[in-house]
Every structure is written in structure tokens, then in C-alpha cells.
Amino acid sequence: MALDVTLSRTNKTFQEQMQDLLSKKDKLVKQDVGDGRNKYQVEVNNLKKKIKEYNKSQAKKDGVPKVKFGSLLRNIQKDEKEGKFDRGAEGKAKNAMRKKMAQAKDSSRDGGVHAGTQKDRANKLAQAANDDPEYKAMMKKKKLKTGPGGR
């Protein structure tokens, strides 16, 4: 006969701590500490210090990977994009964040494109196709000349 035991952890992982901070960010940013920083900045700095202390204590043990703050943030942002974590931002901030995260990479925003180049034409076609579905249908019928004489 198997017995299942459920224990609640008292210590949170660094990722859980950062997620908690992000969830409370709107409130913490409004609280001034007095030295030119807000409460959110102070709490993030404290978390970074905890991570450094953890890395120093784990340095003697072999096979234990270091925790990096940047990787931690990237993992949380990845979870947000996948819908596994919601920081609970309200109103305009939440909508703006979702719009930014859902926005696919747009090649028309690439820098250093010269007018008349193949990349420039591709950007114009992509933009026009996104703007006008009739143009998209027309471009399917019209064949673009490719190869040596197509430029």
C-alpha cells in the first residue's frame, strides 16, 4: 500500500521569487525608497545578491550549474509568451505587453536596407500584402522575374 505525502515548501526558487516581484511590480515601482530608487529596483537588487551568494556557496560543489539573472529573466519571458505565467499587469500595460510579445519579427524593421535592393522590394511586398488582401491575391497570379535579369 502506497502512501502519498504532500509537503509545502517554505523556500521559493529564484524563478518563483522573480515572478512574485514581477506580479507586484506596478505597486513596488510607485514606492520610493528615498535614495532615488524605487522599491522594485531594491528588491531586484536583493534577489541578485541572493543569487551571487548562492553561486559562491555552490562553487565548491561539482556539477551544480550557476544561476544567472539574465537567464532567469529570459526563462520567465519565455513562460509569459507561452502562457505559462501571467504577471497580472492591468489595463494598458497588460495590453501593450501582450501586443509586443505576440508581435512576430517583421523584416521591414531590419536596418541598413538600401532603396531598390532585393531586400527592400521584399519588405515592400510583405508590407503591402499585410495591408491589402487583394494585392496579395494579385501577386499570386503575377510571377516575379528572378535570376540574372530580374534585378
Q: Which domain holds residue 126?
A: 116-146
Alpha-carbon Rg for the chain, nearest whole angstrom, is: 25
Q: What is the pLDDT of residues 4-53, one digit of tens each?
A: 766 665 678 898 999 999 888 888 888 998 898 999 999 999 999 999 99
What cell does 122 get?
A: 521584399
What domain count does the chain have? 2
What pLDDT is attached to residue 47? 94
124 in any annotated domain: yes
Whether residue 38 is found in the same domain as residue 85: yes
pTM value is 0.53
What cell does 147 get?
A: 535570376
Whether residue 73 is found in the same domain as residue 127: no
